[in-house]
Every structure is written in structure tokens, then in C-alpha cells.
Amino acid sequence: MILVTGATGRIGGRVVHELTAAGAAVRALTRRPDDVQLPGGAVAMSGDLRVAASVEPAFEGVDVAHLFPVPGWPVADLLALARKAGVRRIVLLSSASLPGGPGLIERQHRANEDAVRASGMPWTFVRPTAFMANDLSWAPAIRAEDTVYDAFPDASLAPVDEHDIAAVVAAALLDDDHAGHTYELSGPEPLTTVERVAILGEVLGRPLRFAELSPQEVRTSLVASHPPAVADAMIGVLAAATGTTAPILPGVHQATGGPPNTYAEWASRHADHFG
């Protein structure tokens, strides 16, 4: 039995799909089990990772658990409940930013990894770089006026497709041989913000305009959905990426044996979102 947390999100939902397609028994944790539709064979269970006691029943009978971190979760308490229930291995979604320095994002993910190590259970860490899906935030302005409003036009990232992240997580959940491995994931090429806009325009078959915002303008939009400290950390990541060339990380191939999807492939799959 495999437990997937974050099971209704972009990554977790795809993990559930990959696992059921492989014939695995899957338990999907969600705060609203009556409102979700899951692939055949997956069972929804109620639970909120921010409230450890609510997750305890979901750990019963589970062999391997995928943990999708949420802000403020009591990770040590959750791991203690998992170990008590007999969970024998953890696959944790972390971040490729972790080795880079002492910023807020790095500290949060480092604390999660340290807690998993301290639990004594075998683990696999999956560390993706920026998600291609982050660019879905551009969709309303593209649909309305074929324009992308953003800062840092020359920030270089090698974003990774959420399907590739899910494929690595699923591979790690299905095979004990992945225990003890850390997989750092990126897409196959470094791309600046304006280069991603250009590729997206080619896929959509129409030219897109890039309108540069100031970092403060972007921060103002971010704090509408993120704590200010997190918004500042996100701005800092993009500022640090300006004028650089993002590294290409090997984790997708290491874990799955295949290449990561390109940005154009991701954009083609999501073309309907952009109108």
C-alpha cells in the first residue's frame, strides 16, 4: 500500500495516476475526499498534513509514503506516526534550491530532509528546480491581450515538467532500490524568462509580448497568495538567476531512464489554458 499526500495537486494527482497505471494499491490523502475523482483502484482518505492526528488513520497498513510538504506542517510528528504505523520508507518532495544557500526556501526544505533522516526510516529525496507549471500564472494576461507581465526577463532557469516530477516520485515509491538516493531534477535546457515566452508563442501560433514589471510590482502580486517572507525569497531566487546560465540536473534520467520533457512539450500539453 502506497500513501500519496498532496494527492489532488498537479504533482500528487499525476503520481496517483502513474501508480494506479502500474497496478499499485494507492491511498490518496485529501482534505475533501468526497469531492475528488481518482483513477480506478485509488482510495481517497480524509486528512490534513497540518494536523498530524488527522493523518494517523491514513498511515495504517501503508508500506511507503510520499510526503508533499505544506507550510507549517508538524513534520516530526507526522513521521513519528508513520513509523509507529509501520511505514517502512518515505519519499519526500524537496527542492533543488536546497544546496544553494541559507535562504528561507532552503532552510524550510533542509529542515524537512533533516526530520526525515532523523526518523530512522529509509528515504528518497526528490529535489526539483522551478516548475514549468508556475508559468500558468501568465495565462489570464495571455488570453486577454497576448502579453506576459513579469520581472527579471534575463533570469535563467531550467524548469521541470510536473509530469517528470511525478514520474520520478512514482518510480521511487514503486521500487525499494531508490532508497537512500537524492534525485535533483531540471528540464533539459536553460531558458530565460523571455525565451520561455517566445517558445510559448511559437506553440500557440501567435506572437506574445513581454512587458517588464519591477521586482516590487511582482512582489505585490505574490503577497496576495504567499507570506511576505516567501514572496521575498522567490524574488531573491529570480534576481540571483539573472545573468547566469541555469545548470541542467540529471535526476529525471537517473530515476526513470528517460529524458525530461522540453518546455515546448509542456506548453503544447497546456495550450488550452492560454487560449
Q: How confident is the model at residue 107 (pLDDT cuts 50, 70, 90)?
A: confident
Residue 99 lies inside a defined structural domain of this protein: yes
Distance CA 181, CA 97 (A): 17
Parent domain of 7: 2-131+161-186+247-260
Question: Is the alpha carbon torsion for 74, 76, 81, 82 positive or negative?
Answer: positive
Q: CATH number, domain at 20?
A: 3.40.50.720
pLDDT digits (tens, 9 = 90+) for 140-189: 999 999 999 999 999 999 999 999 999 999 999 999 999 999 999 999 99
Closest CA to 96 of 208, 183, 8: 183
Average pLDDT score, the chain: 95
Evaluate whether 82 touches 47 at the Cβ level (below 8 Å): no
Number of domains in the chain: 1
Averaged pLDDT, 13-17: 96
Residue 77 lies inside a defined structural domain of this protein: yes
Residues 6+ apart with CB under 8 A from 141: 147, 148, 149
Residue 219 lies inside a defined structural domain of this protein: no
CA distances, 156 to each of 129, 188, 246 (Å)? 12, 13, 5
Looking up cell 506572437 gives: 207
221: phi then psi, degrees, rounded to nearest 5? -70, -35
Looking up cell 545573468 gives: 243
Residue 271 lies inside a defined structural domain of this protein: no
Cell, residue 134: 508556475
Q: What is the pLDDT of residue 36?
A: 85
Distance CA 44, CA 23 (A): 16
Exposure of 23 by Cβ count < 10 A (0-12 exposed, 13-18 middle, 19+ buried)? Answer: exposed
Coil, helix or strand at residue 229: helix
pLDDT digits (tens, 9 = 90+) for 17-73: 999 999 999 999 999 888 888 888 899 999 999 999 999 999 999 999 999 999 889
pLDDT digits (tens, 9 = 90+) for 196-248: 999 999 999 999 999 999 999 999 999 998 889 888 988 998 999 999 999 99
What is the biggest distance separating any 2 CA atoms in the chain, rounded to whole angstroms?
56
Residue 220 lies inside a defined structural domain of this protein: no
Question: Is the alpha carbon torsion for 216, 222, 227, 229 positive or negative?
Answer: negative
Q: What is the pTM of this model?
A: 0.95
Residues 166, 253, 99, CA angle at the centre, nearest 5°? 80
Residue 136 lies inside a defined structural domain of this protein: no
Residue 102 pLDDT exceeds 70:
no
Residue 139 lies inside a defined structural domain of this protein: no
Q: What is the pLDDT of residue 21?
A: 96
Q: What is the pLDDT of residue 101?
A: 58
Distance CA 82, CA 60 (A): 8
Residue 213 lies inside a defined structural domain of this protein: no
Cell, residue 65: 509514503
